[in-house]
Amino acid sequence: MTLPPGMSQRDFSAALRQLETAVGKEWVFSAPEDVALYRDAYSPFWDEEEERTASAAVAPDTVEQVQSVMRIANEHRIPIYPISTGRNLAYGGAAPVLSGSVVLDLKRMNRVLEVSEENAYALVEPGVSYFDLYRDIQDRGLKLMIDVPTPGWGSLIGNALDHGAGVTPMRDHWSTQCGMEVVLANGEVLRTGTGAMPNAKTWQQYKYGIGPYIDGIFSQSNFGVITKMGFWLLPEPEVVRALRVTAPRHDDVIKMVEIMSNLTYSGVIDSQFTLASPVLNGPRDAELEALAARPGGGTREEWDRYAESKDRPFWSARFTFYGPQPVVDARWEYARQRYSTIPGVQFEDGPTYRFPMSREQREQAPDKGMLGIPSLSNFTGRTPATPEVADGHMDFSVIVPMTGHDVLAALKVIGRDFAAAGVGARMGTISSFHLRTFILISSFPTMRADREFNRRVRAAYERAVKVTADNGWGQYRSHAAFMDLAVSKYSFNDDALSRFHTTLKDAVDPNGILSAGRYGIWPKDMRGSA
Amino acid sequence: MTLPPGMSQRDFSAALRQLETAVGKEWVFSAPEDVALYRDAYSPFWDEEEERTASAAVAPDTVEQVQSVMRIANEHRIPIYPISTGRNLAYGGAAPVLSGSVVLDLKRMNRVLEVSEENAYALVEPGVSYFDLYRDIQDRGLKLMIDVPTPGWGSLIGNALDHGAGVTPMRDHWSTQCGMEVVLANGEVLRTGTGAMPNAKTWQQYKYGIGPYIDGIFSQSNFGVITKMGFWLLPEPEVVRALRVTAPRHDDVIKMVEIMSNLTYSGVIDSQFTLASPVLNGPRDAELEALAARPGGGTREEWDRYAESKDRPFWSARFTFYGPQPVVDARWEYARQRYSTIPGVQFEDGPTYRFPMSREQREQAPDKGMLGIPSLSNFTGRTPATPEVADGHMDFSVIVPMTGHDVLAALKVIGRDFAAAGVGARMGTISSFHLRTFILISSFPTMRADREFNRRVRAAYERAVKVTADNGWGQYRSHAAFMDLAVSKYSFNDDALSRFHTTLKDAVDPNGILSAGRYGIWPKDMRGSA
């Protein structure tokens, strides 16, 4: 059995008994088969010494119980690792960053506390999944759309705290967050924004409150346990309509991205758009590998000849528009018109969806994410239907400036790096995951039964972090197993920002009980050893 | 001469000499006539004991000089009060919250460091005013629009840090902030977001970086000195077109606000809209006063009769649309169509502006704010042309939920309160200053030569804070003279949020040298005495 670092079995058992008093005996888990459920199913260290595993788990049902857990943890110096629904797969799952931590499982706190149709917001607990909120809204017949990531079983709060995203106009989940309740490491509870004014009615409508706007410091960190969070929602649109644009040549990306970014910053495009190269991130062959391996990565003429020989457009982009029919049509048409200035460009209209949609229409719609319908259909892990996939994967997501030059450079540099690594790392599309940059999400496979393979994958992952950082493309989010590395690349002025994070950490959690190591932030006595 | 609290003249003079070494003799000001320039021209305590005044001012030109000032201030425990351009008029101006502070005047740091037309952003220093950035963009012929508050001589950074706003789609200035450089109290410099990655190119395009997103804690606070900040800009639109809607009856506000909020949350309306009642906040007469004074504040029928007798529409709203002509027209028309469902509604089209505009057209445009053109034409202080106005005024700005019921209640409750106070406090329009709430900005006059009047104004101001907080309408920003009071209303769980703020303060500025008292945050040794 894993124990918290430096704690005896006897002291730990005594602490667990206290936790049982706080939350009920049946909600403290220390049997190996129960604790195993909190392993990271996709761990790149599966069954190795370095795999990060929990010592126990505790599942409170109320804010008061969370407060009690914090007080007990402080008393016994037990490392606590809060999770919402524990679905942070591909970034570390439910497993703690520090082995021996007690997982604080907030799944039971799954109440949708309020949904306002008039002011288009929801207030939820951490255990509320996208499915939960979606069903609540549908069951009550409210004309609201939520924004869902892929897949939809995760927690709204957990995803927002990790700066996750979906595809609709509300896709940047952190930016839609409005007001939170936090249990601090010392067990005190506070509310941010206007939630701190006892009778204010704008907790979910005005973000800043008065004085320092602190919400952000609780994201990607370990400064408190979020027990409630508000989210801005989109009123159900009349229409959702897509537009696909393809352009034939290598250098067309310059103009394509220029138009994209201009339309985005102008508010004409208001949702996620994706950009892919059916050539650069399409099927690879010997000719392509040879071209990519040339000094400078091939000239534009060589690439154009290659694309033409394969009869593939060099670039493909997809946009989606949300709103009233005439406004959507005007935006769609304007975007088409702007793109018509690129010679050889081709368009594809739709799909188009009209609301309200019946339950059956929703269930049958193939583009669920675009419609804010949670699903597991885009689930990329191995399922009974897809036994050939790797056991798991680690996502690797970098921030790329919204310019054609950067897109070209990123696809070529990362493509070359992945090819050299030879572990089957795959590049995804480049998308406007957040508002004014692209995120390029790639994934590295992991295999439970092949330690040697996993070792190579880890080395390739670490090299990819280095290669992208050298090019100025930082990670927007980190896999739990590589957080120190990810953060170390944000090193301006002798790691001034990281050192500031630890200053905050020591102030708000002096005993360092919360999520040791998360995003490179370690308690005082573990620093440097990491 | 005012001295820093607890400091001898001799020690202070020695400290000033050190500051002179750091920034140059000519940039340290301690002569009474120089220091007087940092008085709050609108102070409600003008020439009284309690007027907050500086002991000296220091004006560095570089980040390194700011760092030196911080180190000297820490050594001598000198309270420092940073200002950007010092134009925070109506909220306290350039004067420190704690008398005897040394004003750190950042006006000389007025470089526009970068403007990207392609990615629509700017990186500026704190001394850069809206005029400065506007001129830079115009001189270089860049197709970008900035968002300006009224008036335009203030600092972009200062305004954003106070959560100020303008009227275009980029009006919520804090929400357009992207990436900053901060000099901490200990003299260290850090960069937030991807600015912490030495060669990243997305400092002004991706807000969160990796790990805790800390930018917010530097707003409305005293945790650091911001020396650089990025801002998202709007590409110059093809067209700016306005729509005015009036509705005849008292209860029409319910439907009007319902449509407004729905269109806003749906992205059809993307800029500030204002709502006013030509009746409730129009000219007052005896009949109106009598009606307002009735128990419950008058019935809807009584109000409708009153409005009809005056031949005034009860409500008036104004919207502005930005973007390509066909998209703007579609939005405009859709909004008009939605409002047509209210019986008796009337519309007014325009004004409409088309870009590009010549320099002459810009100079002559009456609606400068709407076009992102800074001006002093909406300046509400006394000018040579308006000698009848009070010497100054204090703004009082509360957050009101975006519902018709709240609008009605706010106008009536605040109107009644102001009438009872009898000091000439004036209600402004209700506007979507930020994104999903209304802000109701009122103002209280101040008179330099009339202490008794100012005493009554202060009492009225304090009562207004109490009355509005009792109704759940918090202040989004506080006047420097009433910060403790404003913050005290955000008191959930025994002031848990305020206590958290002081925990952060003690961690990041242990000697409490920065902006003591700002937003109710005091250094350890001054707490409770405030």
Tell me if chain B has a CB within 8 Å of the CB of A347. no
pLDDT of residue B22: 98
Nearest Cα residue in chain B from A476: B210
pLDDT of residue A530: 47
Cα–Cα distance for residue pair A462/A453, rounded to 1 Å: 14
Nearest Cα residue in chain B from A475: B210
- Of B459, B463, B518, the closest CA to residue B487 belongs to B518
Tens digits of per-residue pLDDT, B13-50?
Answer: 999 999 999 999 999 999 999 999 999 999 999 999 99
In DSSP terms, which residues pair with B318 in a beta bridge?
B244, B274
Tens digits of per-residue pLDDT, A56-73?
Answer: 999 999 999 999 999 999
Mean pLDDT throughout A377-397? Answer: 74
ipTM: 0.96
A363 exposed, middle or buried (CB, 10 Å; 0-12, 13-18, 19+)? exposed
Q: Are A378 and A130 in contact (CB under 8 A)?
A: no
| Percent above pLDDT 90 for chain A | 90
| Percent above pLDDT 70 for chain A | 97
Amino acid at B408: L
pLDDT of residue B529: 52
Residues of B in contact with A499 (CB under 8 A): 188
Q: What is the pTM of this model?
A: 0.97
Residues of A in contact with B497 (CB under 8 A): 190-192, 196, 209, 211, 214
Cross-chain residue pair A474–B210, CB shorter than 8 Å: yes
Nearest by CB to residue A330, choosing from B191, B327, B504, is: B327
Positions of A annotated as catalytic residues are: 91, 476-477
Q: Residue B205 half-sphere exposure, CB side, CA atoms within 13 Å?
A: 27
Cross-chain residue pair A119–B201, CB shorter than 8 Å: no
Mean pLDDT throughout A411-422? Answer: 92
A431 CA: distance to closest CA in chain B (Å)? 13
B226 CA: distance to closest CA in chain A (Å)? 14
- Of A142, A114, A108, A126, the closest CA to residue A26 belongs to A108
pLDDT of residue B530: 46
Q: Are B319 and B335 in contact (CB under 8 A)?
A: yes
pLDDT of residue B37: 96
With cut-offs at 50, 70 and 90, classify the pLDDT of residue A387. low
Q: What is the token pair recorded at A265?
A: 């910053």
**Chain A residues 72-131 within an 8 A CB cutoff of chain B:** 118-121
Tell me if chain A has a CB within 8 Å of the CB of B254. no
Mean pLDDT throughout A336-356? Answer: 97
Q: Is B476 a catalytic residue?
A: yes
Tens digits of per-residue pLDDT, B244-254?
Answer: 999 999 999 99
Q: Who has greater pLDDT, B281 or B522?
A: B522
What contacts B307, CB < 8 A, 6 or more positions away? B248, B249, B250, B279, B313, B314
The mean pLDDT of chain A is 95
pLDDT of residue A346: 98
Tens digits of per-residue pLDDT, A162-209?
Answer: 999 999 999 999 999 999 999 999 999 999 999 999 999 999 999 999
pLDDT at A382 over 70: no
Cross-chain residue pair B211–A261, CB shorter than 8 Å: no
A287 CA: distance to closest CA in chain B (Å)? 32
Tens digits of per-residue pLDDT, B59-81?
Answer: 999 999 999 999 999 999 999 99
pLDDT at A529 over 90: no
Amino acid at A2: T
Tell me if chain A has a CB within 8 Å of the CB of B506. yes
Tell me if chain A has a CB within 8 Å of the CB of B413. no
> CA-CA distances (angstroms) from residue B161 to A213, B177, B321, B488?
10, 9, 27, 20
What is the distance, to the nearest Å, from the Cα of residue B298 to the centroid of all Cα atoms in its chain?
A: 34
Tens digits of per-residue pLDDT, B105-129?
Answer: 999 999 999 999 999 999 999 999 9
The counts of H helices and E strands in chain B are 14, 18
Mean pLDDT throughout A19-26? Answer: 98
The mean pLDDT of chain B is 95
**Cβ count near B449 (within 10 Å):** 9
pLDDT at A294 over 90: no
| Percent above pLDDT 70 for chain B | 97
Cross-chain residue pair A190–B497, CB shorter than 8 Å: yes
Is residue A396 helix, strand or coil? strand
Chain B interface test: which of A159, A210, A239, A407 (most B C-beta within 10 Å) = A210
**Cβ count near A289 (within 10 Å):** 12
Tens digits of per-residue pLDDT, B414-440?
Answer: 999 999 999 999 998 899 999 999 999
pLDDT of residue A528: 72
Cα–Cα distance for residue pair B165/B148, rounded to 1 Å: 8
Is residue B40 helix, strand or coil? coil
Residues of B in contact with A270 (CB under 8 A): 267
> Is the alpha carbon torsion for B324, B325, B327, B333 positive or negative?
positive
